[in-house]
Amino acid sequence: MKVQEFCQNQYDAPPPTKRRLYGVEVEVEQAGEHPSRQWLTAHKWRVTEDGSLRNNGLEFVSSPVTLRTAMHSYEALCEKAREFGYVANARTGIHVHADMRDLEVTQVAGVVAAYAAFEPLFFDLVGREREENIYCVPWYRAPEEGELIATLVTGDYARLRDACKYSALYLMPLRKFGTIEFRAAPTWVDPEPMRRWMQAINRCIRWGMTQTPQSVLEACNTDPNTLVKQVFGRVFDHIEDPESLMDGVDSLGTVATMLPCTYKVGGWELLAANGESKAFGYHKRPRNRREAGVIMDDVDLMRVRELLDEND
């Protein structure tokens, strides 16, 4: 199923095209004034208030636009930010919504797995201090976020409401708007770091949509340093050893939470967390063989048979 078939509110976004659409949200403080309505419209922005900001804080929200247009709009906003003396601090940030409406949910799973694998590199790009920011918690510090991918692939879209709003990659907008939200970046008043950030996101999506969580793991376990070059080009050239950053926080462990589990009990094969599963619910991935045995002992085979029959 494609994301556009279940997302609830697609704003006034144009239909998905071959060029991926992005929506950019830029938070600033000490914004006592802002550009004219005519200027905002011409550069694809609108202005809203944000309750998490202080000192005349404002949020500039772009229309859904292509990558190139997003950068042109951001460059223009940077000029105005310097002109009006806007302030960026730990409370402010840039949130990038990437349109996923044209993708199958299995492709979204690949995109998210790719992000989770390379997330330490993303945080190196935006500044290591962002790891400690409560508004963009890394997935490698909250790997349970990855478990939502399992329920997404099986069609339990309502579970997306359990996503943490203040995680570095927020999944709830997928259900609401058909987007995923990258939240790790601070507010920059220089367009160059923003350009690299958008390139990293775009390249991650382009590669991830051709993958699965399993293939991401396999690729990263083979030669991650070469893979980073292939996927991102020169975006992460400043990182000498990407593999060490990924290993240092076990970002691949987060990807592992997205893999399907297969349990075999009494001749019945129970598939959880993949596209073939039936509606008998989900089993949390066992941490070891002993825990797996306990889970197996608790399975109600009669109930499993009933539910399988209902869904035939």
Question: Are residues 294 and 189 part of one domain?
Answer: no
Annotate 104-127 with b (16+ C-beta within 10 A) or e (fewer): bbbbbbbbbbbbbbbbbbbbbbbe
CA distance 223 to 68: 31
pLDDT in tens, 158-196: 888 889 999 999 999 999 899 999 999 999 989 999 999
Last residue of a domain, one of 215, 235, 256: 256
Does residue 238 carry a pLDDT above 60?
yes
Name the range with the highest mean pLDDT among 112-121, 137-146, 257-266. 112-121
Whether 26 and 168 map to the same domain: the answer is yes
Same domain, 96 and 46: yes
* Same domain, residue pair 225 and 145: yes
With bands split at pLDDT 50, 70 and 90, how would you rate the model's confidence at 85?
very high
- 296 and 203 together in one domain: no
Could you give the CA distance from residue 54 to residue 197 in angstroms, rounded to a whole number? 26
290 and 226 in one domain?
A: no
Q: Which of 70-79, 127-136, 148-157 has the lowest mean pLDDT?
A: 148-157
Average pLDDT over residues 80-108: 94
Give the pLDDT confidence score for residue 262 in this predicted structure: 38
Q: What percentage of residues in the chain have a pLDDT greater than 70?
A: 80
Are 36 and 77 found together in one domain? yes
Q: Are both 151 and 20 inside the same structural domain?
A: yes
pLDDT of residue 10: 58
Q: Which residues pair with 268 in a beta bridge?
A: 265
Same domain, 190 and 290: no
Same domain, 39 and 55: yes
pLDDT at residue 296 is higher than 50: no
Instruction: Please answer whether residues 101 and 3 qualify as being in contact, where contact means their C-beta atoms are separated by less than 8 angstroms.
Output: yes
243 and 137 inside one domain: yes
Q: What is the pLDDT of residues 15-36, one digit of tens each?
A: 666 789 999 999 999 888 889 9
% of residues, the chain, pLDDT over 90: 62
What pLDDT shows up at residue 1?
A: 86
Confidence band of 289 (pLDDT split at 50, 70, 90): very low
Q: Are strands 179-185 and 169-170 parallel, antiparallel or unpaired?
A: antiparallel
Q: Do residues 11 and 46 lie in contact, with contact meaning Cβ atoms separated by under 8 Å?
A: no
> Are 238 and 302 members of one domain?
no
* Cα 159 to Cα 153, 172, 234, distances in angstroms: 11, 9, 37
- pLDDT given for residue 275 in this prediction: 39
Angle (CA) 99 67 193, round 5°: 115
- Encoding tokens for residue 254? 């987060």
Instruction: Give me 86's structure tokens.
Output: 């806007």
Q: For residue 13, what are the domain limits?
A: 3-256
Encoded amino acid at 194, one letter: M
Q: Does residue 78 have a pLDDT over 50?
A: yes
pLDDT tier, 294 (very low <50, low <70, confident <90, very high otherwise) = very low
Give the pLDDT band (50/70/90) at residue 131: very high
Considering its fold, how many domains does the chain have in total? 2
Contact predicate 203/231, CB 8 Å: yes
* Structure confidence at residue 267 as a pLDDT band (50, 70, 90): very low
